Structure 1
Amino acid sequence: MLLRSFENRAFIALVLLVTAALVWTLSGFLLPVFWATVLAILFTPLFQWVRRGMRGHNSLAALTTLLIVFVLVIVPLVVLGGAVTQEALGLYNRVVSGDINVTEPLHTAEQLLPELTQRAEELGVDFDRIRENAAQAALAVGQGLATRLLSVGQQTLQFVLLLAVTLYVLFFFLRDGDRLTNTLIRALPLGDPRERRLLTKFVAVTRATVKGTFVISAVQGAIGGVTFALLGLGSPVLWGVVMTVLSFIPAIGATIVWGPVALYLLLTGQVVEGLILIGVGAGIMGTVDNALRPILVGRDAGMPDYVILLSTLGGLGTFGVSGLVIGPVVAGLFLTVWELFTEEFATADTDDPDVPGDDPEEAAAAEPDPAALTGAPKTSPDDEAPTSDVVLDL
């Protein structure tokens, strides 16, 4: 018996060691595997629909779904990335050549508000220094952006490799998704009900995060980019993408972009354009989150808003763009694990005969009679109102 116990422990240690070695070996490809999992979760309904049309041919249905994903997701992202790169480099060249004068709003403000300018100078405010610092900051930001874009261009080969790995893994996740899920449930030593509940939570949070974060941010960025284009502002695709990224930040979001631009338009005499931009930003982009989030997310996430916010920001700071999904997923699994732990151990404590007060008869005998305290007549159990079970909707 002792030998058998030692063998089991040694085997478990071997399993953990080999698993850790595999994770370490594949550490450079964990993010492609993660995004393949996310895409598989999102497009599994499409795969099942295609498979029914192809009479159950899994491989052909998976390949067809993969082509659809490539055309609808990958190709637009690549084209958008190329357009953003061109506009960013063009914007940087215009700032360097002087076509865009970032100090013009300060000069206009000095002309429109001479008294305020005089008061500021009396307080020691040096507008010449402010203009110089603003110009230097704009050049530094533009140079940093151009350098980053060039480095991204130099890493094209690596990007293509990771994209190929993602699509390759996605094919097998779509084709063998049911079998892989059942194998994972059988292999994990957590108990099948717990594992299925955790996997269900993982799928729900992933879908809710993508729908509630990426889709809403993309809509806000698209509205901002189209508005920039209609108003004749430069680099609408670039600023639309920037607003999409910043829309991940709740409350502030795209205001970081359209707010200063609207102020710039007002200070440079383009009052109508500035007011239109403020109206679109505050009236449309500012309310699209409240309008779309209940429709796209609903109760899928099953998490409080503050948990989603903190986990999203924490994931973004830890894992980069992938953390926008990883953070909420980890938070969702954390809450689910603690719900399971609380439910099971609370039930175990309640069923323990040694715990005082668990016996209903003892609790009733120890509890003071309300009728004796108030002088009201006693009621029998049959007179009590029926109670209903409360079901916790996860």
Structure 2
Amino acid sequence: MQEKLERRSFIVSLLLVTLAFTLLLKPFFTPIFWACAIALIFFPVYRRLMRRFPNWRNLMALLTLLLCIVLVVIPVLFATSSFINEGVNLYQKAQSGQIDLSKPIEQVRQAFPGINALMERVGVDLDELKQRLLGGVMSAGSFLAKNALALGQNTLNFFLMLGLMLYLTFFLIRDGEKLVDLLIRALPLGDEREHLLLAKFAEVTRATIKGNLVVAVTQGTLGGLIFWILGIPAPLLWGVIMTMLSLLPAVGAALIWFPAALYLYAIGEPVKASVLMVYGFAVISLVDNILRPILVGRDTKLPDYIVLFSTIGGLMMFGISGFAIGPLLAALFMAFWEIFMREFINSPKESSA
């Protein structure tokens, strides 16, 4: 009886300490998550290096981390900085009256009068829609300007989080296998289930982040490039926006390049508009239709609608990191239910047979 009481008291204490430690780490959730994700993605590189230089663990882990910084961190920082600068510049011009944001909308309405009749038929007031769009654009610009100022004021905090992420990534790359073995020993779920769940976690994380990012960056780069070739203002800004929108399956960059093509038709640039329209359907959209199922859907084994809803839900709940966390949670949810049905529902039937 005494032993049972001691065991229960210890379990309760263990749960309380674990909860307190989790709350302690809550402010660092984002850098911890991305450290785990980057370590998973770049671990195969480290393993290959270790096969050639088995006695240089620290150096090979550091070399892998430097490769990650060059291929991922620096380009992301550059693109983010350029996006914020161009977005704030555009917002300031619109606020000062140098750019009239309502003019393109009016030009499209005049060039395509059928849009007015179609919108009226479905009960949409175009003037109200225009005001909402303009209000949304100005709110987004104001939000971007305020956050750019806040980011400048919190530069130390930003680089602290970045440094913590890279610091943790180094140890996860170097000691990842030992930590996974320790986790399997510690979790009371059964080794076979734990191996399955951890494998699913690694598989979905790699597929989602690599797949979604490759598709998004490819679409954004192609979109920004054609905007630059056609002389559309702020191609880098629109390229980054297309990259961000491409993280959403079934939505993507068409939300930018299709209205841009309509606008080119409206201002009397049919050649440029046709080039952009053909390029959008034949090149930008084709990237999504070909690469996403190969890089994301095939590896995660998730239906497209699950990927879409989990991605949107993840973005709403976790911010930009949600494009990876959402599908990951969906995959773990399905993996847990697969284990449950296999072991707790199918097994009794099979044993009775």
TM-score (norm 1): 0.81
Letter in 2 for 1:274: A
Task: Summarize deviations over 1:35-56 as a string: whole Å, max 9, x none.
Answer: 1000011000001112223233
User: Structure 1 residue 87 and structure 2 residue 74: aligned?
Assistant: no
The structure-2 alpha-carbon separation of the partners of 1:321 and 1:113, relative to structure 1 and needing over 3 Å to count, comes to: closer
- The CA distance in 1 between the partners of 2:323 and 2:126, in whole Å, is 40
The structure-2 alpha-carbon separation of the partners of 1:148 and 1:261, relative to structure 1 and needing over 3 Å to count, comes to: farther
The structure-2 alpha-carbon separation of the partners of 1:131 and 1:318, relative to structure 1 and needing over 3 Å to count, comes to: closer
Letter in 2 for 1:177: G
- The CA distance in 2 between the partners of 1:29 and 1:138, in whole Å, is 31
State the shift of 1:112 in Å: 5.7
State the shift of 1:139 in Å: 4.5
CA RMSD of aligned residues (A): 2.8
User: Structure 1 residue 64 and structure 2 residue 63: aligned?
Assistant: yes
TM-score (norm 2): 0.89
Q: Tell me the residue number matched to 1:233.
A: 232
Q: Tell me the residue number matched to 1:270.
A: 269
- The CA distance in 1 between the partners of 2:312 and 2:203, in whole Å, is 20
- The CA distance in 2 between the partners of 1:337 and 1:114, in whole Å, is 54
User: Structure 1 residue 304 and structure 2 residue 294: aligned?
Assistant: no
Task: Summarize deviations over 1:216-238 as a string: whole Å, max 9, x none.
Answer: 11111111000111111111111
- The CA distance in 2 between the partners of 1:72 and 1:325, in whole Å, is 19
State the shift of 1:111 in Å: 6.5
Higher-Rg structure is 1
State the shift of 1:254 in Å: 1.3
Cα contact 1:247–1:254 (8 A) shared by 2:
yes
Q: Tell me the residue number matched to 2:201.
A: 202
Q: Tell me the residue number matched to 2:145.
A: 146
Q: Tell me the residue number matched to 1:362.
A: none
The structure-2 alpha-carbon separation of the partners of 1:143 and 1:336, relative to structure 1 and needing over 3 Å to count, comes to: closer
The structure-2 alpha-carbon separation of the partners of 1:216 and 1:268, relative to structure 1 and needing over 3 Å to count, comes to: same
Q: Tell me the residue number matched to 1:283.
A: 282
Secondary structure of the corresponding residue to residue 26 of structure 1: helix
Structure 1: gaps spanning 5 or more residues: 353-357, 360-394
- Paired residues in the alignment total 349
Secondary structure of the corresponding residue to residue 299 of structure 2: coil
Of 314-323 and 286-295, more deviation after overlay is shown by 286-295
Q: Tell me the residue number matched to 1:373.
A: none
Cα contact 2:108–2:262 (8 A) shared by 1:
no
Mapping for residues 98-247 of structure 1, pairs under 5 Å: 98-105=97-104, 108=107, 139-247=138-246
- The CA distance in 1 between the partners of 2:346 and 2:157, in whole Å, is 52
Structure with the larger RCO, 1 or 2 (CA within 8 Å, 6+ apart): 2
- The CA distance in 2 between the partners of 1:263 and 1:75, in whole Å, is 35
Cα contact 1:303–1:332 (8 A) shared by 2:
yes
Structure 2: gaps spanning 5 or more residues: none
Q: Which has the higher helix share?
A: 2
Q: Tell me the residue number matched to 1:379.
A: none
State the shift of 1:180 in Å: 0.6
Secondary structure of the corresponding residue to residue 101 of structure 2: coil
- The CA distance in 2 between the partners of 1:22 and 1:209, in whole Å, is 28
